[in-house]
Structure 1
Amino acid sequence: MRALLWVIGVVAGVLILLGLILEAVRWLIIIGVIALVIVIVWGVVKGRQAVQHQGRRR
């Protein structure tokens, strides 16, 4: 009986940790996608500024 309680406790702990890890991974993916979009937008803005700046020199 005691061993069964230990097994149930360990399995429950593993499931809780797995749930937390999967939740963390989901949030990390969301944050990564947001960061990627920001970097792309920033690159486009900087690229347009560089092109406009070159046009003024000529």
Structure 2
Amino acid sequence: MLRWTITFIIIAIIAGILGFGGIAGAAAGIAKILFFIFIVLFIVSLIMGRRKS
């Protein structure tokens, strides 16, 4: 999931440089959402991993 976040950030940067503001904004928004989902899943997996020990 972090790989997808980085991909969308790169797309947003390239689109922003080339002047495609709408695409850059959409890609940045998707990247932000994916990043927060990644963080939540990472924290949940850390908590669940500690419970089993």
TM-score interval, smaller chain = 0.5 to 0.7
Higher helix content, 1 or 2:
1
Gaps of 5+ in 2: 1-18
Q: TM-score under structure 2 normalisation? A: 0.63
Gaps of 5+ in 1: 1-6, 44-58
Q: Cα deviation per residue 1:1-57 (whole Å; 9 max; x = unaligned)?
A: xxxxxx4xx1110000000001000000000000000001011xxxxxxxxxxxxxx
The 4+ residue runs of structure 1 with deviation greater than 6 A are none
Q: TM-score under structure 1 normalisation? A: 0.57
Could you tell me which residue of structure 2 aligns to residue 56 of structure 1? none
Q: RCO (CA 8 Å, sep 6+): is it higher in 1 or 2?
A: 2
- Number of aligned pairs? 36
Aligned sequence identity (%): 9
Return the alpha-carbon distance in structure 1 between the equivalents of residues 32 and 50 of structure 2: 27
When the two chains are superposed, the root-mean-square deviation of aligned CA atoms in Å is 1.5
Return the alpha-carbon distance in structure 2 between the equivalents of residues 27 and 16 of structure 1: 17
